[in-house]
Amino acid sequence: MIRLEHISKDFETNNPSQPINHVLKNISLTINDGDFITVIGSNGSGKSTLLNTIAGSLKPTFGRIYFDEKDVTNLKEHERAKLIGRVFQDPNIGTIGDISIQENLALALKRGEKRTLKWALKKEYDITYKKYLAPLNLGLENRLSDKISSLSGGQRQSITLLMAILKRPQLLLLDEHTAALDPTTSKKIMGLTEQLIKEFNLTALMITHNMRDAIKYGNRLIMISSGRIIADIPQKEKEKLTVEDLYARFDKAEADLSIREEMDSK
């Protein structure tokens, strides 16, 4: 179980009238083992800042973060490497272009350990790689010796996703990981994502701007606005939603938040 307790994140600005930008505001969230949570919110709502804070890329201004009751708030990003797998929107992030697919996957197997290729470059691992790459119909299972730089965006993102889960992380963070892909490839990557999460019983937090994906995937849906969680929708309720319902619910939750914040400021 992962707990965020009263997490706030502030940034200084160059605006004298508003010297502090309060990006996250007193967020508390419990992520249960096996949760697959989709996260939606408008641009600037704090979604990526939330993931960066969980990952250790940013340190919260206030609040604590716990992984199985262990306080990891002060652990740096590399110190959380064994706990967290992450896939970014940009397919070029998370892989090394000048080395092969096989070598990139081997490095992922050594995440959080002393990095050498000697231990991880074994034939039995190739079987695992091919098992998950073949269903994508991208031909990657037959290209393990090819350099990552020779791949398309969708091919590279599938490798990045596989790299993120090879060490069975305690938490998988997906930051709009299909947003830069064409619709057909995006559908394949989402199918692989769901398959891996279910097969390895992973816990995942996924930011998406695709409302259909937000409804279709996962067992919870979280809405974020102005640095606050404004809704946390469980699976049974989420399954009944349409895209139109979701937009309407989001608009209402944002309006309610604006009213509360206006009243609090008086």
Of all residues in the chain, the percent with pLDDT exceeding 70 is 91
Which stretches of the chain are DSSP H helices?
A: 47-55, 101-109, 123-133, 153-165, 183-199, 211-216, 235-239, 243-265
Q: What is the pLDDT of residues 142-190, one digit of tens each?
A: 888 899 999 888 888 888 998 898 888 999 999 999 988 888 888 888 9
Task: Look at residue 265 and tell me whether its pLDDT is greater than 70.
Answer: no
pLDDT at 223 (0 to 100): 93
How far is 28 from 65, CA to CA, in rounded Å?
A: 9
Angle between helices 183-199 and 153-165 (to 10 degrees): 10
Architecture of domain 83-209: 3-Layer(aba) Sandwich (3.40)
How far is 126 from 190, CA to CA, in rounded Å?
A: 23
Who contacts 150 (Cβ-Cβ below 8 Å, separation ≥6)? none
Q: What is the pLDDT of residues 229-241, one digit of tens each?
A: 999 999 999 999 9
How far is 79 from 155, CA to CA, in rounded Å?
A: 29
* Residues 10 and 61 sit within 8 Å (Cβ to Cβ): yes
Task: Look at residue 108 and tell me whether its pLDDT is greater than 60.
Answer: yes
Of all residues in the chain, the percent with pLDDT exceeding 90 is 46
The CA distances from residue 119 to 26, 105, 110, in Å, are 44, 12, 9
**How does DSSP assign 124-178, residue by residue?**
HHHHHHHHHHGGGTSSGGG-TTSBGGGS-HHHHHHHHHHHHHTT--SEEEEESTT
| Domains of the chain by residue range | 1-46+58-75, 83-209
At residue 114 the predicted structure's pLDDT band, cuts being 50, 70 and 90, is low
Q: What is the mean pLDDT of the chain?
A: 87
* Residues 241 and 73 sit within 8 Å (Cβ to Cβ): no
What's the rounded mean pLDDT across residues 32-44?
93
* Residues 29 and 60 sit within 8 Å (Cβ to Cβ): no
Nearest-5° Cα angle at 221, 207 to 264: 95
Q: What is the pLDDT of residues 182-191, one digit of tens each?
A: 888 888 889 9
pLDDT at 112 (0 to 100): 58
pTM over 0.85: yes
76 in helix, strand or coil?
A: coil
**φ/ψ (deg, to 5) at 35:** -65, 140
